Structure 1
Amino acid sequence: MNTDNTGNTGTENTESSRDELLAEAVALRTRGEAEKARERLVALADRYPGDAVIAYQTAWTHDALGLEAEAVAYYETALAGADLPDADRRGALVGLGSTFRILGRYEQAVVTLRGGLAEFPDDGALRTFLAMALFNTGQHDEAMRILLELLSSTSEDPGVLAYRSAISHYAKDLREVVQGP
């Protein structure tokens, strides 16, 4: 085993370097320097091709730059990895589903977002983006149901709170009509 003059193995140095380079690239994106971040992340993704966290950050940065088509492969790599933390996995599922939708790949968006909800059933972002994708596929009733359920269960708006039970009821079937006398 090789060690450097600090007593660390090469693997430890590589991991430390990876973490530092990743943190620097994410900081660049956070500061609004997304193109610089993208260049660094692409280089890191090439250097660590199976790294799910790097792939996720690279996809996110491509999306931030409006490069959705280029983001897809990075999102897919991220989601295929076993080492993606849950928060990042959620973000990658939302990101990929949203990216498919914006690219006009509506059915893939629906499949991705439904899969995300199977893993994270209470995630409001996944439900919202699924509703948008369902709208794009002509599934308007389900899209409205999802949004109304989300609205009634999460809103703190006084008007929504006052009508929460009615909104929840109508979310089940917007076409319900009560026949008069």
Structure 2
Amino acid sequence: MNGPNRDERLVEAIRVRAAGQHQLAREQLVALAGEFPDDVEVAFHTAWAHDLLGLEAAAVPFYERALSQEGLSPEDRQGALLGLGSTYRVLGRYESAVATLRRGVDEFPDHAGLRTFLAMALYNTGEHRESTGLLLHLLATTSQDPTITDYRQALDRYADHLDETTD
């Protein structure tokens, strides 16, 4: 094959995307995905390029392909799970969003972004208690605001007992 190889072309498309040339990056990545349809890394970056352009529905099959087999780095896998879950949510596919984001939280329990997007999807499915509890736990564990950190233990406890009162 003449010209740059797969790795060089992928690096170039990622560079173009990072430079803000989202449409050009999408074109490069779609071409690369056509040549390497089983490449999960190419699929992930192709999905991401679609998302940046607001082409969520077109991103879904690339995210699904990226997650269909092993091969993504942990960082890219986190991004693919968050991207697919968030995309499902934006498209109104709330149950799929929750399932995908739960899978992400199960695999990466310390990833605050996955837990935040899961909370939003739970809200969309009417799971308000779980959604609020998840957000309270995140706030308690990640905030550096002294007006929050002073109440960290209470917030953590209340997050699991939102409906309880004392008599």
Bucket of the pairwise TM-score, normalised by the shorter protein? over 0.9
In the TM superposition, residue 81 of structure 1 has moved relative to its aligned partner by 2.8
Counterpart position of 1:66:
54
Counterpart position of 2:6:
18
Q: Secondary structure at the match of 1:135?
A: helix
Deviations 1:77-111 (A, max 9, x none): 10113111111000000000000000000000000
Q: Secondary structure at the match of 1:39?
A: helix
Counterpart position of 1:167:
155
Q: How far apart in 2 are the matches of 1:159 and 1:52?
A: 44
Structure 1 unpaired stretches of 5+: 1-9
Structure 2 unpaired stretches of 5+: none
Counterpart position of 1:120:
108
What aligned pairs does 1:83-102 form with structure 2 within 5 A after superposition? 83-102=71-90
Q: How far apart in 2 are the matches of 1:18 and 1:158?
A: 49
Runs of 4+ in 1 over 2 A off after TM superposition: none
Deviations 1:149-175 (A, max 9, x none): 111011111111011111111101111
Q: Identity percentage over the alignment?
A: 55
Q: How far apart in 1 are the matches of 2:148 and 2:39?
A: 44
Question: How many residues matched?
Answer: 167
TM-score w.r.t. length of structure 2? 0.96
CA RMSD for the aligned pairs?
1.4
CA contact under 8 A between 1:50 and 1:81: conserved in structure 2? no
TM-score w.r.t. length of structure 1? 0.89
Counterpart position of 1:146:
134
